[in-house]
Amino acid sequence: MLTLRVSEIFYSLQGESASVGIPTTFIRLTGCPLRCYYCDTAYAFSGGKKISIDSILEKIAQYPTRYITVTGGEPLAQDNCHDLLKQLCDKNYCVSLETSGALSVAKVDPRVIKVMDLKTPSSKECEKNDYVNIDYLTPIDQIKFVIGDKVDFEWSVEMIKQYQLAQKCHLLFSPIADVLSPTVLADWILEHGLPVRFQFQLHKYLWGNVPGK
């Protein structure tokens, strides 16, 4: 019986990504090898409860949505995450994976929408980026840049140019909450004419930084 260590399973609106605002079931797996200074889910670094994949599938079936996001922590830190993703896709859910980009996405089921961070300099984990992952991204996937200052912004613009990211997948720019003004980031994007989607964390605007929302 395949199991995963799970921090929480909950139903909410998608707060980020290209599907923002859509009712979604979230499966938050425990554990992460990174320690980004702005992380708002540090409670998922440890603890959690070991649950079988069958039990996870049974639990999510109670919620009235076909949209599922597997998140963390870092979901790919647990090998059985791949089995969960495959089984979710087999049941015809619309599945997205939120991943740091530090671990290989090579084995992720191609039906899964990968929402992958490229860690910016202010995260303090920029050196953990695995740029080989870019080769595994498809037009359905998304790269997220979490931006705290002008250095992060200019670094992100350079990454888009260097790896021709706008031709590979969707691009998302997010301000670090309470660090960079959303308006300032929006103005920078407009000034540079970037082919990116501006976003901020909708769930925080609606409910604050509350676990399970």
Which contacts of 106-115 are long-range, i.e. CB under 8 A and separated by 24 or more positions?
106/133, 106/136, 107/82, 108/76, 108/82, 108/136, 109/82, 109/85, 110/138, 112/85, 113/140, 113/141, 113/142, 114/141, 114/142, 115/16, 115/17, 115/141, 115/142, 115/144, 115/172
Q: Give me the mean pLDDT over the 16-21 stretch.
A: 89
**Distance from C-alpha of 40 to C-alpha of 76, rounded to nearest angstrom:** 18
What is d(CA 202, CA 209) in angstroms, rounded to the nearest whole number? 11
The pLDDT assigned to 208 comes to 74
C-alpha to C-alpha distance for 158 and 102, rounded to whole angstroms: 19
Architecture, CATH, for domain 3-207: Alpha-Beta Barrel (3.20)
Mean pLDDT of 189-203: 92
- State the pTM of this model: 0.94
Looking at every residue in the chain, the average pLDDT score rounds to 94
Given a cut of 70, whether residue 211 has pLDDT beyond it is no
Distances (CA, A) of 195 to 54, 122, 165, 169, 189: 40, 22, 10, 11, 9
Q: 73 preceded by cis ω (within 30°)?
A: yes
Q: What is the mean pLDDT of residues 167-179?
A: 95
Interatomic CA distance for residues 35 and 196, integer angstroms: 26
Q: What is the pLDDT of residues 33-76, one digit of tens each?
A: 999 989 888 999 999 999 999 999 999 999 999 999 999 999 99
